[in-house]
Structure 1
Amino acid sequence: MSGKFDNKVVVVTGGTSGIGLATARAFAAEGASVFITGRRQAELDAAVKSIGGKTVGVQADMSKLADIDRLYDAVQQRHAQIDALFANAGGGDMLPLGAITEEHYEDIFGRNVKGVIFTVQKALPLLRDGSSVILSGSTTATMGTAAFSVYSASKAAVRNLARSWTLDLKDRGIRVNVVSPGPIKTPGLVELAGSDPAKQQGLLDYMASQTPIGRVGAPEEIAKAVLFLASDDSAFMAGADFAVDGGVAQV
């Protein structure tokens, strides 16, 4: 590895599985001091062990403001600033119009919108001028998806947050971009099909058939995009929606 993030401090929320875990590993491999969050302590401990390097885990539900404060308190005890923030924590499940409940709405918007807003806002005192903020988006933000409207709307909101915050933060030179994965083989994706392995594989096969390059992606492929957006290699990118989707929303 190049050590591109030596002496850098990086925060990855939702870092215990899937894209978040792969990204935390990639940052750690490049020399960063990495802070990850997760809602369940056992999974958090396992992730920290698997990532290795200078990794610290903070148990937190990023839809809860007190937990966000605890995260940044932990960072501040060890470091004076944050160089990159990947606001990745979130998720959602599927319900068609007619079956949407208040609980469904509150859960998804709490994690994907409220959580992202306050994860970034509460980081501002620690974010270094010229640092990079990456928000976790989705190709569903620009596409119609049956039974997935609330999740898709939450990711459309995230897309605009990056646009607006780029203007709010321009005097500090903080760049805000979105990485928008397409179908990526993660626990969160396969669990949309339930617990039956055959149904999970059927979902992956269907998504691969709908992807122009003919396969679903790997979390590590999104991690590479996040590291690019966090680095000086993307210094002229701000407010962008960086699609890593095998062409799903592009052609």
Structure 2
Amino acid sequence: MKLFSFNKGVAGPSFAVMTGGTGGIGCEIAGILLEQGWDVLLLTRQPRKAEEQISSRNGRFEAVYCDLTKPADLESISSALVERKKSIGLLIHCAGKIKPEPTRNITWHSLEDQMTINLTSPIIMTSQLLPALSPVAHIMFVNSIAGVMPLQGSSVYSATKFGLRGFARSLALEFKPGTIKVSSIFLGAVDTPMLEQETRDGGSVLNFVNKPLSARDVANLIIRTSKGKGREVFLPAVDGVFAHACLIMPWLLRITTPILEKIGHIGLRRFQKKLNRN
């Protein structure tokens, strides 16, 4: 396996490791970090695609093959990073997988695929990379509103995102104030290839109650959050308020769903027209 070539001992909080960099959000995050002078190591199953999408700019960039569903890949990368003694200032878990389907159609493959990419690999990778983190590093989990509000028709995806929130909140309690920080970003629908594919696969119309977010705007929010204290951020903010209200009052989601679906269908038709134009 080809491992990264960044020099040993180059210290500090200007070294970022991330997954999911060939998607819309991850690609934008990597570009912004490089503009700001960070060195970025991207773990991906498509390193050549990543290198075509992302230019080095002010910092150094390298994409390394890593299949997040294979423990051996995670262990090899993590061991190499720890051995290189190059402190990681920012660890971003951006990779995600969704397979919309009713519960009666769930297969072992779709369950394992979503669980591994959305939940198991971020947990294992974080655990293995803790020795390589800077004492003031920031761990970022790119989550979803589906991690706070149940998503009908995507129960496995929602379960993995609820689990990721639980892990992140528990992890944050392990660190003293002023040391390693943990943040989770809970996003509504984002205008990315992943959303386009989800829509083709019959994803929830609730994705389109609001206009899908810009990947660039989301990336900027994630970078701004990484420079502050660890916290949970919801975008759009109103989705976070509504999702928590539904957790407290489960009946609220049931009585509002018919209205939200009508609004969502209007937004979906608008989104589909845009796809057809492209």
Q: TM-score band (shorter)?
A: 0.7 to 0.9
Q: Whole-Å Cα distance in 2 between the matches of residues 119 and 74 of structure 1? A: 13
Letter in 2 for 1:45: E
Superposed CA RMSD in Å reads: 2.6
The corresponding residue for 2:239 is: 248
Report deviation, 1:73: 5.1
Q: Is it true that 1:184 corresponds to 2:184 in the alignment? A: no
Q: Whole-Å Cα distance in 2 between the matches of residues 44 and 131 of structure 1? A: 24
More helix by share: 2
Partners of 2:47 and 2:65 within 8 A in 1: yes
Are the structure 2 counterparts of residues 51 and 99 from structure 1 closer, same or farther at C-alpha, using a change threshold of 3 Å? Answer: farther
The corresponding residue for 2:52 is: 46
Q: Is it true that 1:129 corresponds to 2:129 in the alignment? A: no
* Pick aligned residue for 1:71 from 73, 77, 81: 77
Q: Whole-Å Cα distance in 1 between the matches of residues 184 and 32 of structure 2? A: 18
Letter in 1 for 2:131: P
The corresponding residue for 2:221 is: 225
Report deviation, 1:70: 3.5
Q: Whole-Å Cα distance in 2 between the matches of residues 177 and 70 of structure 1? A: 26
Q: Whole-Å Cα distance in 1 between the matches of residues 23 and 173 of structure 2? A: 32
Q: Structure 1, residues 116-164: CA drift from partner, whole Å, max 9, x if none?
A: 1011111111101121000121001121222111001100011011110
Which is worse superposed, 140-149 or 112-121?
140-149
Report deviation, 1:176: 1.0
Q: Whole-Å Cα distance in 1 between the matches of residues 149 and 13 of structure 2? A: 39
Report deviation, 1:250: 2.7
SS in 1 for 2:105: coil
Letter in 2 for 1:118: I
Letter in 2 for 1:19: I
The corresponding residue for 2:9 is: none
Q: Is it true that 1:26 corresponds to 2:32 in the alignment? A: yes
SS in 1 for 2:191: coil
TM-score w.r.t. the length of structure 2 is: 0.75
Are the structure 2 counterparts of residues 44 and 128 from structure 1 closer, same or farther at C-alpha, using a change threshold of 3 Å? Answer: same
Report deviation, 1:49: 3.7
Give identity over the alignment, percent.
Answer: 24
Letter in 2 for 1:87: H
Q: Whole-Å Cα distance in 2 between the matches of residues 148 and 130 of structure 1? A: 36
The corresponding residue for 1:84 is: 90
Number of residue pairs matched? 231
Q: Larger radius of gyration, structure 1 or 2? A: 2
Partners of 1:9 and 1:33 within 8 A in 2: yes
Q: Whole-Å Cα distance in 1 between the matches of residues 102 and 215 of structure 2? A: 27
Partners of 1:87 and 1:119 within 8 A in 2: no
Partners of 2:66 and 2:74 within 8 A in 1: yes
Which is worse superposed, 104-113 or 49-58?
49-58
Report deviation, 1:248: 3.0
